[in-house]
Amino acid sequence: MGIRSLIFLTAVVAYGCSSSSSDAPAPTPPNNNPPPVTPYADFMRGADLSFLPEVEAEGTTFKNDADIQKDVLTILKERGCNTIRLRLWHTPTNAHSALPEVVAMATRVKAAGLKVYLDIHYSDTWADPGHQATPAAWQGLSLSDLKDSVYLYTKKVIAAVQPNYVQIGNEVNGGMLWETGRIAQLGNFIALLKEGCRAVREVAPSAKILIHFAGTSSADWFFTQLKTNSVDYDLMAISYYPMWHGFSLTDLKTQIDGLIAANNKPLLIAETAYPFTLGYNDFTNNILGNSSQLIPAYPATPEGQKNFLLAIKALLKQNSKGAGFCYWGAEWVAFRGPTATNGSTAENMALFSFINKELPATAVFADP
């Protein structure tokens, strides 16, 4: 702006200040009440209960907040939970998370009036950013044969489970089905991902397809690759654990809003969890055990856990494409006794106390 313009502007301002109120235009009041955001129509209030068959096999039972023994599904549904996430491994070393167990759990979930969210790991064990081992049955296959295997296997499991939501791969930051499908071999990874999506569309066209990324660091690049390469999916899914993905919920909201705006797709927090204590209820080392892993505003107390989850829910609902959340390890209590070294590594983050009683945090499942 030049000197002449500044002089003119000063004169205008001075005139405006000396004019009578009847001559001056009425100021525009600040918008302190912006229009409310319309929440996502099918907002997920979910819980991952993949450990439940293993936990129940040890004779573990659960109680609601009134000390009444009930099925976990009943307890969560009564609080407003609407979706249950189930992990599927290809050929695990035991029956847990194998297809027969997942089909049985899916049947039970539907009978309880809840939706099924199928999390396909495409591995015989845990798949995450540091592990994406190809199932033993598919080892040594060419890319072409691996694509066929993904397609046929996905069709088979979708037909058997008949889920409402399908996650193609778990935390696929580094790709899937290593070594062939590593993210560094982007074309291979995209091709494998597309085969899984194609199978879902053919068998269950009404099911929603999710692609799952751990955290938000590099998520913008990742989801841009899916858009650039025309991957056919419905919802972005991320994991958010403060100890790994950042301690600022303000930053998380900014990142979520940015991903939604850039990709014009709904976003779900597919995994989150938070402790109600830093104590232990068995001799198994826990994932989280000290205050440096916490957000200071949310201490490791039952109320701190509850308030953290309510804050996560609130920030998602502030965006019309915030599609919901799913709590991980809700039922993973210390199910093998107080001295077990092969029990739960997250009993202090379950939604049930050390006497397996419902915690206040289940209030997060209420609608709205």
Query: Per the domain annotation, does 5 fall within a domain?
Result: no
SS3 111: helix
Query: Per the domain annotation, does 74 fall within a domain?
Result: yes
Backbone phi, psi, residue 133, to 5°: -70, 130
Using CA atoms, how far apart are residues 108 and 87, in angstroms rounded to an integer?
15
Query: Per the domain annotation, does 195 fall within a domain?
Result: yes
> Domain limits at 126?
41-365
Nearest to 273 by CA among 297, 253, 243: 243
Using CA atoms, how far apart are residues 37 and 56, in angstroms rounded to an integer?
41
Query: Per the domain annotation, does 83 fall within a domain?
Result: yes
Averages of pLDDT over runs of 10 residues in the chain (368 residues) are 36 36 47 78 98 98 98 98 99 97 98 99 98 98 98 99 99 98 98 99 98 98 98 98 98 98 98 98 97 98 98 98 98 98 98 98 96
Query: Per the domain annotation, does 229 fall within a domain?
Result: yes
Domain tally for the chain? 1
Q: Would you call 148 exposed, middle or buried from its count of C-beta atoms within 10 A (0-12, 13-18, 19+)?
A: middle
Query: Per the domain annotation, does 20 fall within a domain?
Result: no
Using CA atoms, how far apart are residues 43 and 40, in angstroms rounded to an integer?
5
- Give how far Cα 287 sits from Cα of 244, 275, 291, 326, 345, Å: 11, 10, 12, 19, 6
Query: Per the domain annotation, does 181 fall within a domain?
Result: yes
Query: Per the domain annotation, does 182 fall within a domain?
Result: yes
Catalytic residue among 271, 331, 347, 358: 271
For 63-121, how does the pLDDT look when each residue is reduced to its tens digit (9 = 90+)?
Answer: 999 999 999 999 999 999 999 999 999 999 999 999 999 999 999 999 999 999 999 99
Angle of CA points 335, 339, 344, to nearest 5°: 40
Q: What is the CATH number of the domain that holds 200?
A: 3.20.20.80
Using CA atoms, how far apart are residues 293 and 300, in angstroms rounded to an integer?
10
Residue 171 bears catalytic tag:
yes
| Residue showing tokens 């039922």 | 331
Using CA atoms, how far apart are residues 277 and 334, in angstroms rounded to an integer?
14
Which structure tokens are listed for 200? 């879902």
- Are residues 40 and 320 in contact, defined by beta-carbon separation less than 8 angstroms? yes
Using CA atoms, how far apart are residues 117 and 122, in angstroms rounded to an integer?
15
Please, what's the b/e burial string for 247-276 (b: 16 or more CB within 10 A of its CB; e: otherwise)? eebeebbebbbebbeebebbbbbbbbbbbb
Residue 54 bears catalytic tag:
no
For 181-207, how does the pLDDT look when each residue is reduced to its tens digit (9 = 90+)?
Answer: 999 999 999 999 999 999 999 999 999
For 141-155, how does the pLDDT look when each residue is reduced to its tens digit (9 = 90+)?
Answer: 999 999 999 999 999
Angle of CA points 87, 92, 93, to nearest 5°: 140
Please list, in sequence order, all residues whose beta carbon lies within 8 angstroms of the beta carbon of residue 85, skipping any fewer than 6 positions away.
46, 47, 48, 49, 50, 117, 118, 119, 165, 270, 326, 328
Using CA atoms, how far apart are residues 323 and 327, in angstroms rounded to an integer?
14
